[in-house]
Structure 1
Amino acid sequence: MAILKISAATVDGVMKSARPNKTTFYFDADLKGFGFYRTPGDVGTYFAEFRPVAGGSKKRLKLGTVGTLKATEAREAARKAIANAALGKDLAQNRTDERASGTVKQLVAAYISDKAMKESTRSFYKITLAKHIEPQIGSTKAVAVTRVDVQRAHSAMSKKAKYSANRAMALLSAAFVWGAKRGYVPEGMNPAGRIDRNKEEARERFLSADEMARLGDALREAETIGIPHRPSDSKHAPKEKNRTIYGPHVTGAIRLLMLTGCRLREILHLRWAEYDEKRGLLLLPDSKTGRKTVVLSAAAQGVLDGLPRVGKFVIAGHSAGTDHEAPRADLKKPWAAIAGRAQLSDVRLHDLRHTFASVGAGDGMSLPIIGKLLGHADAGTTQRYAHLHVDPVRAAADAIAGKIADAIGGK
């Protein structure tokens, strides 16, 4: 053991001297407990020694290696560690606890598993964790992640999917709030709480009468002679264009989306037992907003009554009628083909729901009624269609202003 004034020059001198046969310790002449040691492998490491509790055993906290950490930086770190020890704070134990704590992935996974939520939401969260959070900061200790780490992760996620990056931040923030209440992370810790998120603009795409007519033509073609395949540029491709015929459950699902304003999963997961044909209702036990009753039009009932009953689900999937029947997963491929045929490639299936609402608003139906038809839990959600609700408002304004004008002698 040697005592010297630890500085950049003295440490450099020690490291350039002959390698020791065994690990050699050097203590600072001014700050008691601060030092560094050099191993036979020629690695120098700064440390701080202290007693966390008076009379307790001495502990040594590694601060960093020589070359990575400057002597002045190591001195300041040692000063803080020794001062905290005097106040009863054991930084060495803190680091041990930190290493033993769970990762961000484990924290979010625990939140998804234990928090009460809809199964569809749980499934979405699992995908968000696997695709966006885990690749960026999943292996980082939850107690060690910083706001800077999360902001960088959000920026990286945003390069692939801007909106999904925002959803990932919302999930991460909720997981930290949940974890803090249960002691998984320090109280009040939420590095995702104030992250700058990507600006989102509500998409408003409604089908015009002409576009609805084109879609109707494409649906009839799909279920009769079929949608022609896209022509190939290959000289070996057959000259005759092959066609794909889509069964009544595919075209029926699309028609039901248009005629009810339901969400995609509400139609794909719909069971025959939930269809009250006498009263013309769909009694959904579990929608996005909870239990929901859908009032059916005569046109929607006509579609339902015309569908073959193959299994327990209205829209039969590949496993329909089997012991392990499951609802159809999606309509991505058939919708792409049918929408493309109707020259509506920019239209999403969810836009059919918007179209249902826009037709109602354009025809003067009240926003509360439209919200009831769509199953909106929050009236504010229906307000996005307010700008389409102009004619009835103008009629009311004309009626009121007309009476006032008559009273004051206006023309």
Structure 2
Amino acid sequence: MAKIRITADAVSEVMGTARPNKTAFYFDEDLAGFGFYRTPGNVGTFFAEFRPIAGGSKKRLKLGRIGTLKANEAREAARRAIANAALGKDLAKDRTDERASVTVKTLVSKYIEEYVAANKKPSSAEFYRIMLRKHIDPRLGTTKATALTRIDVQRAHAAMSKIARISANRSMKLLSAAYGWGGKNGYVPEGMNPASGVDLNKEEGRERFLTADEMMRLGDAMREAETVGLEVKAGDAKHAPKGQRVKMHPAVTGALRLIMLTGCRLREILHLRWSEVDLDRGLAFLPDSKTGKKTVLLSAAAVAVLREMPRIGIYVVAGDSAGTENEKPRSDLKRPWAAICKRAHLEGLHLHDLRHSFASVGAWSGLGLPVIGKLLGHADSKTTQRYAHIADDAARRGADVIANQIAAAIGGR
């Protein structure tokens, strides 16, 4: 513990020194109880310490992070907190009581906006927002966070599972993480986590690869969709007249072809901007993929698709707001993908299976797992191992070709 005159310059000087091995505390020379601490991670936080009642235990009230709160603002806030404590008003208890009254929706939302959005990828935060909106909020959102029980959570998970089994599991993991964070930040009692220990749905690794025949059927369906259109039947579309054919925008079929020809993830293609594509060199620069910044090698076939794509706005795949001032990327391809799969008689095929198919063709062609991993942008080589058995088949075919030629030369069978 050290005593200094806490000013903007003094705080900046302390934060600029070598990081401490453990949390270091600094108290103000003039205002007793006012100080800040610095963690080994170089995070600084202003605080105020006081005794709410004479002889009672000392309490510490966090005032704000260094960099967000100025030193003079923190001093004034500490002065008010210490003065209120002398008058019998406990601001720390008021804040705890206020936090303890939050709903599950508010708790999860605060976790996403205050922690996930600040420490993880924007795509992760957006995914969690979808989980909250679609699954957690409708079933648990209005329940007080401190009143939620494991039985409530288990029942909610069962209801979610009837709609989407995997998303139900992801929602439980999000809820559990929110409670862990909430316990550390005073929103729920520390250690309280009704989502911990919930029985999750069994998840099996999906391994679906398109055959050559299935690829041809998918290609035929896409060409039909963008030329003469697909016939609309009852239940296929909300507003289109039944019995007529509806053409798909070339941006939609182009996006599907790009996924097939590059092995990219759906969001990587939907969020791709024209400014990130170099057609002359055959490269696409993704600033924020699932595994971070990466460069995608574009084949001649992929470049040809891109040259045919209509340039309407800033995104390669034009969405509803393409060309407008507040343009946003297209959110998904669910409806057109479902229609194309139905026409191609490929029910149950997922968009992500196109990425697996890209990898399987590479493995079958004998490219080797390191090359496939590089093309897919895998950060961990273990992820590529799921295609090892296909690569083994390619190696076996290669061994047969070599051995047959040698056998023929030496007169073997």
TM-score (norm 1): 0.67
Q: Name 1:101's counterpart in structure 2.
A: 101
1:392 positional shift? 4.2
Q: Name 1:110's counterpart in structure 2.
A: 110
**Paired residues for 1:222-371 under 5 Å:** 222-230=225-233, 241-371=243-373
Aligned-partner SS, 1:253: helix
1:336 positional shift? 2.0
Residues in 2 aligned to 1:244 and 1:127: alpha-carbon distance in whole angstroms: 30
1:99 positional shift? 9.5
Q: 1:226 to 1:195 in 2, by over 3 A?
A: same
**Paired residues for 1:90-169 under 5 Å:** 97=97, 100-115=100-115, 116-169=119-172
Deviations 1:44-76 (A, max 9, x none): xxxxxxxxx9xx9xxxxxxxxxxxxxxxxxxxx
Residues in 1 aligned to 2:202 and 2:314: alpha-carbon distance in whole angstroms: 42
Q: 1:245 to 1:396 in 2, by over 3 A?
A: closer
Aligned-partner SS, 1:283: strand
Gapped regions of structure 1 (runs ≥ 5): 1-52, 57-92, 233-237, 403-410
Q: 1:326 to 1:340 in 2, by over 3 A?
A: same
Matched to 1:104, the amino acid is V
Q: 1:320 to 1:392 in 2, by over 3 A?
A: same
Q: 1:170 to 1:323 in 2, by over 3 A?
A: same
Q: 1:158 to 1:331 in 2, by over 3 A?
A: closer
Contact 2:99 2:187 in 1 (8 A): no
Contact 1:99 1:141 in 2 (8 A): no
Aligned-partner SS, 2:362: helix
1:97 positional shift? 4.9
**Paired residues for 1:185-204 under 5 Å:** 185-204=188-207
Aligned-partner SS, 1:143: helix
Equivalent pairs, count: 306
Residues in 2 aligned to 1:309 and 1:398: alpha-carbon distance in whole angstroms: 48
1:371 positional shift? 1.6
Matched to 2:369, the amino acid is L
Deviations 1:195-229 (A, max 9, x none): 22110112222111011111112222222222233
Contact 1:215 1:342 in 2 (8 A): yes
Residues in 1 aligned to 2:262 and 2:251: alpha-carbon distance in whole angstroms: 16
1:315 positional shift? 1.3
Residues in 2 aligned to 1:299 and 1:100: alpha-carbon distance in whole angstroms: 57
Matched to 1:125, the amino acid is Y
Matched to 2:199, the amino acid is D
Q: Percent identity?
A: 64
Deviations 1:282-321 (A, max 9, x none): 0011112211211111110111112222221111223222
Residues in 2 aligned to 1:184 and 1:317: alpha-carbon distance in whole angstroms: 39
Matched, 1:177 2:180: yes
Residues in 2 aligned to 1:241 and 1:156: alpha-carbon distance in whole angstroms: 36
Q: Name 1:77's counterpart in structure 2.
A: none
Gapped regions of structure 2 (runs ≥ 5): 1-52, 57-92, 236-240, 405-412
Q: Name 1:220's counterpart in structure 2.
A: 223
Task: Give runs of ≥4 in structure 1 deviating > 4 Å.
Answer: 96-100, 395-399
Matched to 1:145, the amino acid is L
1:355 positional shift? 0.9
1:397 positional shift? 8.2
Contact 2:99 2:186 in 1 (8 A): no
From the CA coordinates, give the structure whose radius of gyration is larger: 1
Residues in 1 aligned to 2:332 and 2:288: alpha-carbon distance in whole angstroms: 18
Q: 1:211 to 1:104 in 2, by over 3 A?
A: same
Contact 1:98 1:143 in 2 (8 A): no
Q: 1:387 to 1:118 in 2, by over 3 A?
A: same
Residues in 2 aligned to 1:152 and 1:318: alpha-carbon distance in whole angstroms: 38
Matched to 1:112, the amino acid is I
TM-score (norm 2): 0.67
1:395 positional shift? 6.5
Matched to 2:220, the amino acid is D
Q: 1:245 to 1:157 in 2, by over 3 A?
A: closer
